[in-house]
Amino acid sequence: MSPWTFLVEHRAEIFATTVEHLALVIIAMLIAILLGVPLGLLIVHRPVLRGIALGVANVFQTIPSLALFGFLIPIPFIGGIGKRTAIVALILYALLPILRNTYVGLTEIDPAVLESAEAMGMTQSQILFRVRLPLASAFILAGIRTATVITVGVATIAAAIGAGGLGTFIFRGVALVSNGLLLAGAIPAALLALAADFLLGIIERRLRVS
Amino acid sequence: MAAPQAVGSSIEFQDVSLRASGGTMREIVSDISLEVATGETLVLLGRSGSGKTSLLKLTNGLLIPSKGKILVNQKATTDWDRIELRRGIGYVIQEAGLFPHFTVAKNVGLVPTLEGWPRRKIETRVTELLRLVGLDPQEFGGRRPRELSGGQRQRVGVARALAADPPILLMDEPFGALDPVTRAELQREFAALARQLRKTIVFVTHDLREALLLASRIVLLQSGRIVANARREEFLQLEHAEVRAFAASLSSQAGDPA
């Protein structure tokens, strides 16, 4: 059987697995954004915390993904076999680009603009939501975009710890030396990454001010 | 015009010192006592690093004195609600500090928006102010700051500072980054505008020519201390060495086409 007939015959299953994969990515990204952006805000004026946060996030990125999944399994509460552990690992991977870009975006703002905002009698929360976050938004989104593309790829490894997703096809394909199975995992994963990159790229360009 | 009545227009520095941050004993300004009367345009003149800008930031509470106090409308800046104090004081800085993600109209209308004015009233006020600073509201209202020239940005900065009709205006070298021709143009127009507005204005510059054009009174700072305080007409007669140094800079600029 040619790989193409395989893909066509299993399209329903491939589609369902792609949705499952996308769900892993979306859940992990949402949590990573909710953690990364506020943490990025927090470290702007705290050099010690900044060193620790960026350092730790950096270390997670350097751990080979399969090893990171493995390390998490024995950890109580967040570990074990399955989706939960996989999502935790994906969050740890996604954190660095989001954190770093939030920090850079906020520090790149012209100090004269912030001084004006303060001198005009804006409150700290008005400065945050009306000035700093809007001005940093293109940077932050660029970080989210990078993180999403990474996460789509890394999520294929999640199948190794029983989290499902497109990696399931790839691991089975490797084991059975089946091109059809490999492509059933690889093609949708590549398309997801390209689509995420493209769509988030459009939003990023809209947000850019100058 | 709904001027914020809370902030009156007199300013008084009572023996104010400001220490540099970082735990050093070095003082940026020392033992400053100074009164700015309602409706006067006081120019703070001095070299870079003489402490002029710090005096402005002490006035609107961006800096807090390490000694003494600053009274705005007879109330110490430390007793004011910081936000309320600043909404009653217009602030214009070099390069204007406009919000790059807002249109010109939104920049100008910011303080009224924060103060919760109705939308129609804000629009009317923005139109009025853009006309006042010589910008066509139709043409410029919808533009972003990056689509403006330096001089136009500075005009918007002045309009923005005036938006809620604050009784006090603080200006930190507002025309310093402009080319000589545009600078002279804005100085002339602003001198006329200041007479018309009758606000209490504190204007920082290192340019004696500009000081002589705009000031009713000139205060000269050197290394964080006041070394001269005189009416404009009397300033050039003073014998202090720093006054002479500035006066000399004036004559050396005589051939300057600006």
CA distance B170 to chain A (A): 10
CA distance B218 to B233: 9
**B83 in contact with A at a CB cutoff of 8 Å?**
yes
Predicted pLDDT at B6: 43
CA distance A70 to A23: 21
State ipTM. Answer: 0.84
Write the pLDDT tens digit of every residue in B81-95: 999 999 999 999 987
Name which of B235, B166, B160, B163 is nearest B199 in CA terms: B166
- The rounded Cα B102 to chain-centroid distance in angstroms is 22
Residues in CB range of A85: below 8 A, 6 or more apart: A69, A72, A73, A78, A79, A161, A163
Predicted pLDDT at B3: 44
Give the number of A-B residue pairs with CB atoms closer than 8 Å.
59
Predicted pLDDT at A63: 87
Predicted pLDDT at B2: 44
Q: Do B91 and A117 touch (CB under 8 A)?
A: no
Contacts of A127 in chain B (CB under 8 A): none
Mean pLDDT score across all residues of chain B: 89
Nearest residue of B to residue A115, measured between CA atoms: B97
Name which of A194, A199, A207 is nearest A140 in CA terms: A207
Residue B143 identity: R
Predicted pLDDT at A1: 66
Q: Do B111 and A113 touch (CB under 8 A)?
A: no
Nearest residue of B to residue A110, measured between CA atoms: B97
Predicted pLDDT at B66: 92
Whether B62 shows a pLDDT value over 90: the answer reads yes
Predicted pLDDT at B7: 54
Nearest CB to A120 within list B96, B101, B111: B111
Nearest CB to A112 within list B85, B95, B110: B95
CA distance B238 to A195: 73
Mutate one of B55, B81, B99 to test the A interface: name it (highest A CB count within 10 A).
B99
Write the pLDDT tens digit of every residue in A87-129: 999 999 999 999 999 999 999 999 999 999 999 999 999 999 9
Q: Do B111 and A131 touch (CB under 8 A)?
A: no
**A117 in contact with B at a CB cutoff of 8 Å?**
yes
Q: Of the spans A81-90, B189-198, B220-229, which averages the highest pLDDT?
A: B220-229
Average pLDDT over residues B136-146: 93
Whether B255 shows a pLDDT value over 60: the answer reads no
Predicted pLDDT at A160: 87
Write the pLDDT tens digit of every residue in A40-96: 999 988 989 999 999 998 888 888 888 888 888 888 877 778 888 899 999 999 999
Lowest-pLDDT choice from A76-80, B172-176, B184-188: A76-80
> Token match 């007793």: residue?
B79
Write the pLDDT tens digit of every residue in B2-37: 444 445 578 999 999 999 887 778 889 999 999 999
Write the pLDDT tens digit of every residue in B201-216: 999 999 999 999 999 9
Average pLDDT over residues B224-241: 91
Report the 10 Å Cβ neighbour count for B165.
17
Write the pLDDT tens digit of every residue in A135-180: 999 999 999 999 999 999 999 998 888 888 999 999 999 999 988 8
Q: Do B89 and A119 touch (CB under 8 A)?
A: yes
CA distance A34 to chain B (A): 24
Average pLDDT over residues A23-27: 95
Predicted pLDDT at B4: 43
Nearest CB to A113 within list B82, B83, B97: B97
CA distance A89 to A83: 10
Mean pLDDT score across all residues of chain A: 90
Count CA atoms closer than 13 A to A190's CA, side-chain side. Answer: 7
The answer to whether A21 and A79 are in contact (CB under 8 A) is no
Q: What single string gives the DSSP state of each residue in chain B?
A: ----TTS-S-EEEEEEEEEPSSS---EEEEEEEEEE-TT-EEEEEE-TTSSHHHHHHHHTTSS--SEEEEEETTEETTTS-HHHHHHTEEEEETTTT--TTS-HHHHHTHHHHHTT--HHHHHHHHHHHHHHTT--HHHHTT--GGGS-HHHHHHHHHHHHHTT--SEEEEESTTTTS-HHHHHHHHHHHHHHHHHH--EEEEEES-HHHHHHH-SEEEEEETTEEEEEEEHHHHTT---HHHHHHHHHHHHTTT---
Q: Do B114 and A116 touch (CB under 8 A)?
A: no
**B156 in contact with A at a CB cutoff of 8 Å?**
no
Whether B135 shows a pLDDT value over 80: the answer reads yes
**A129 in contact with B at a CB cutoff of 8 Å?**
no
pTM equals 0.81
Mutate one of A116, A123, A127, A209 to test the B interface: name it (highest B CB count within 10 A).
A116
Predicted pLDDT at B9: 77
